[in-house]
Amino acid sequence: MNTARLLVATHNPGKAREYALLLADLPLVVTWLEEVGVTETVEETGTTFLENAIIKAQHYAKLTGLLTWADDSGLEVDALGGRPGVYSARYGGPGLSDWQRCEALLAALAGVPEPQRTARFRCVVALAHPDGRTWTTEGEIAGRILTAPRGVNGFGYDPIFFVPGYAAAMAELSDAVKNQISHRAIAAAQARRLLVDLLAEGLAL
């Protein structure tokens, strides 16, 4: 019997490798878009992380005929009405660096007192079968937005996101800790358990 393949819907080989390691002990061959000859991107038209993850997973599952894993994630800031949300990677305008996006967010929160700077990182993973069946998992980590960046071990908004349980910015935490507590780690661990159950139930891939 041929080993089933799981497509990770990303053009980022680093992300594909991370997920491949997470799923290494499952009877799956983990592949990614370029590896199966897919160079196109799908327009993320959803207004939530859930919608965008499903859009990506279903699009590439239908295109390739493979069970597909897709995720969408970002930062929600309560004082900004949940923004930047699904626009986290584009906040502040096109072409900005991570540092510039952090600066734009800090500027938007200028004068907002610490108790009102609550925020969360959220991630949704969607698993889509070529026949249309779709499953989702979600992870989040709550914290607050600092008034200045701290730490260098991270990307995106990690330097300005304070994690109360560790009294540190996300960018001050080790990779080992982040891989235990991050929104992506939580959603991915749940998706892995879901895959285990689906394979045990004899999911036809």
Strand order in the sheet with 118-128: 28-32, 4-8, 67-77, 118-128, 134-145, 161-163, 168-169
Q: 25, 71, 72, 197: which is the annotated catalytic residue?
A: 72
Beta-bridge mates of residue 126: 70, 136
Q: Which residues contact 98 (CB under 8 A, 6 or more apart)?
A: 155, 156, 157
User: CA angle, corner 15, sides to 9 and 18, nearest 5?
Assistant: 120
Angle between helices 13-22 and 183-200 (to 10 degrees): 50
How far is it, in rounded angstroms, from Cα 82 to Cα 101?
A: 16
Active site residue 175: no
150, 169 Cβ separation under 8 angstroms: yes
Range list of β-strands (E), 93-133 = 118-128
| Enzyme catalytic residues | 72
